Each structure stands twice: as C-alpha cells, then as structure tokens.
Structure 1
C-alpha cells in the first residue's frame, strides 16, 4: 500500500535556514540580556514558534517583550535569509522523484509564519513544487508540537492523515506528525540527533535527502507485505 501524500516540514528539511535563524535570534536575545551559545539557542528554540516562547523570553531577559519585538526579529531574520538561505542539498531531485510517483500529492507544513515560507521557498526555487499546498502553523489554532498544521495539510490534499508520510527534522515537528497519526521519517544530517527522534517513535531516520525516495519505496513495500 502506498502513502497517499508526503508532507514536508520546511526549515531544516526543504531549506537550510536554521543556522541563519538561530544566529539572528541568539544575537537579538543577547542584546536584551539573555546570553547563550548558538548550540544552547538551537536546543531551546528549534522547531518552536517564537510567539509561543514569549513567556520564557520575558522571564530570561527580565523585559516585557511582546509581538512588536517578534516582528522586529522577523524583519532582521528575513533580511538575513534573503541574502543567505539555500535549499537542502538534493531536495529538488528528491521532490521530482516523489512527484513522478505521486503527482500533486506533496505539501509543505511548517510552524513558520507564511511570510517566511514564501521568502524561503521563493528564494530557493521550491515554491512551484507545492503550489497552493503550503500550510503555516501560525495560521492554525495550535502550532507544533500539536498536529493542527499536518491535519490541515492532509485535509487540503483530500487524504487521511494516517495515510500520509511526514518528513521532519526536529522533536517538536515529529511530535506533531505522530500526533496527526502519520508515519514520520526523521531527516538527520547530524548523526547525534537521530536517537532523540527514534526514541520519540519515528519510523526511521536518514542522513542524505537523496536517500528519501528509496526509503519511501522500502516502507511502501513493507506495507504491501503486511
């Protein structure tokens, strides 16, 4: 039995944006008095929506930062992304291969705001792959780790979430995919992240994007065999 659709996270899966975003966020938090390393900032915020983390930011900075500060971060982040963001190596060939087998049945389902999604996918030439099937967790009642954005993507494609394959790179995002009832694969170019995702319950992990079509075919063959 084949998967009805493949749903992709964006940051760290389609585009190599996370180092840029984390760097900008770390610098802006440091300006407000919360000093941390890049690694600490990554571990704290990756996969999470910054507006949801404002209570923590206020506590750690001692300042009453609000959505105005979040918007200032987004402007500074978007400027950096527009100059630096690149597609994940091999993603175009991977999307081409999946679309040959499942025409029109892919979606981008991200926790990021829509402006960031449009900027990144446009900048890297990936926008046309997804057409209207780009879904932002910032526009759903609850963002990741809740399943809302993956449920919205499955509904938009007209398929059962349980028949979808989700590709994620973070614990927060994988939690959302699993909560939606989907089969989740973990993209882990850095090996030390694999164990965290496996403990969570992802079906498998892989390190290179060009491995994904073969891995999907393997999982579908296993489903056929029961």
Structure 2
C-alpha cells in the first residue's frame, strides 16, 4: 500500500453540491442588492467557509452579516440539498472500494459544518463508509487553506499525515492538504463549470490531477 489512509474532501469530490449551494447563496445575496453572477459566485465562495467571507458580503451589500442570516442560509441550503443532491459520478463505488482496500482507514475532512457533511453523506448513501470519521473545519481553530482539518483527520485515524493521500477539488483545499504534509490528488472533471482547471490545482500543490472518480483507486495505487 503506497499510503496508510485516504482523506476525502466532500463537496465537489464525493457530492455534486456546489451548484445547489451557490444558487441558494446567490439568491440571498441578490436579495441584498448584489447582482452576483454564477461564475463570480463560484470564484469568490466555492472552497471557502462562508464565515470567512462576511467581509466580502458586507463590502458589496452594506449589510452587516449576522449569525441569524448565516443560519437562514444554512437552513435554505440544507433544504435544497435534501431535495436535489446527487453523488459525483463514480464516487460511491470509489469510496467503498478504497475503504475496503484500506480496511476502513478513510475519512472525510471538509470545510463545511458537520450538519451539512452528515446530511450529504446520508443522502448519497455514504454515511456508513465514513461513520465516526467525519471532520469539519468549523470545529478546528482555522479552516482551509490551513491544514487543521486534515491534521485532525490524520490524528483521528492514528496515522502520520505524511502517509496520507488527500483528494481535493479546489486550490484552497489542495493548499490545506499540502500544508498538512499529505500527498494531494486534484479532481477536475472535463467541461465542468463547477471545478477548477488542472493547472490551477497543480499550481496550488497537487501532485497530480485526474478527471474520472471511477479511476481514483488506480490513481492512488500508481503514486
């Protein structure tokens, strides 16, 4: 085995959630007067914790973001995800295959809040694969691109983070994995508006990129 464990990001890696979440956020920002496009919404917010971006929202709207506003966003987001969320093509079989190969030494390390992570994994049928090994960047001192959530996941599995492979799809997440000392694979399917170009993830520090989640096991074994 080339590694001791595999650590997965969630949004954009296991679940196709970014368009859903971004649409809810853009609707609420437009209600505040910021006519933000889908493309700008992805560029500014995908891969980042919303609580870290309140300054950007206040700058463009003049609205002082409150905890109540963020709670309402999460309520609407979760409602939309519960209805429309789908897994990334090939992700369910890949995660199950890798969990079996690594004898359960897998974890989800996401910048999202725990409620969202658990809702999504349950919705697509992966909650049993990652039971007891879910880590939220909102429960660590610093969120991505800081390495905290990946260091927490490695510690939870009892492994050296340098012996972990991280699967990410954003430059923010890639930098977090690299900062943790892990080897990072960047997922970037072709012709996907919701994902970054390979060059972007490579510049952030990914060792390699791949475009088909069904081939993840082979990609890890070939590193």
What band does the TM-score fall into relative to the shorter chain? over 0.9
Residue 129 of structure 1 aligns to a residue whose secondary structure is: coil
Residue 130 of structure 1 aligns to a residue whose secondary structure is: coil
Counterpart Cα distance in 2 of 1:100 and 1:130:
12
In the TM superposition, residue 65 of structure 1 has moved relative to its aligned partner by 1.6
Counterpart Cα distance in 1 of 2:85 and 2:99:
24
Counterpart Cα distance in 1 of 2:55 and 2:67:
11
In the TM superposition, residue 55 of structure 1 has moved relative to its aligned partner by 1.3
1:54–1:66 Cα contact (<8 Å) kept: no
Counterpart Cα distance in 1 of 2:178 and 2:187:
15
Question: In structure 1, what is the equivalent of residue 178 of structure 2?
Answer: 178
Task: Determine if the alignment matches structure 1 residue 88 to structure 2 residue 73.
Answer: no
Match of 1:212 among 213, 216, 223: 216
Pairs within 5 Å for 1:124-135: 124-135=124-135
In the TM superposition, residue 19 of structure 1 has moved relative to its aligned partner by 0.6
Runs of 4+ in structure 1 off by over 3 angstroms are none
In the TM superposition, residue 150 of structure 1 has moved relative to its aligned partner by 0.2
Question: In structure 2, what is the equivalent of residue 109 of structure 1?
Answer: 109
Q: Which has the higher helix share?
A: 1
Question: In structure 2, what is the equivalent of residue 22 of structure 1?
Answer: 22
Structure 1 stretch displaced more, 56-65 or 128-137? 56-65
In the TM superposition, residue 190 of structure 1 has moved relative to its aligned partner by 3.4
Residue 127 of structure 1 aligns to a residue whose secondary structure is: coil
Deviations 1:12-43 (A, max 9, x none): 00100001001111111011111111011001
Question: In structure 2, what is the equivalent of residue 157 of structure 1?
Answer: 157
Match of 1:196 among 173, 185, 200: 200
Question: In structure 1, what is the equivalent of residue 143 of structure 2?
Answer: 143
In the TM superposition, residue 100 of structure 1 has moved relative to its aligned partner by 2.7
Q: CA RMSD in A?
A: 1.0
Question: In structure 2, what is the equivalent of residue 6 of structure 1?
Answer: 6
Residue 13 of structure 2 aligns to a residue whose secondary structure is: coil
Q: Show structure 2 runs of 5+ residues with no match.
A: none
1:145–1:173 Cα contact (<8 Å) kept: yes
Structure 1 stretch displaced more, 22-31 or 186-195? 186-195
Equivalent residue pairs, number = 219
Counterpart Cα distance in 2 of 1:193 and 1:75:
31
Question: In structure 2, what is the equivalent of residue 59 of structure 1?
Answer: 59
In the TM superposition, residue 172 of structure 1 has moved relative to its aligned partner by 0.6
Counterpart Cα distance in 2 of 1:186 and 1:65:
33
In the TM superposition, residue 187 of structure 1 has moved relative to its aligned partner by 0.4
Structure 1 stretch displaced more, 95-104 or 26-35? 95-104
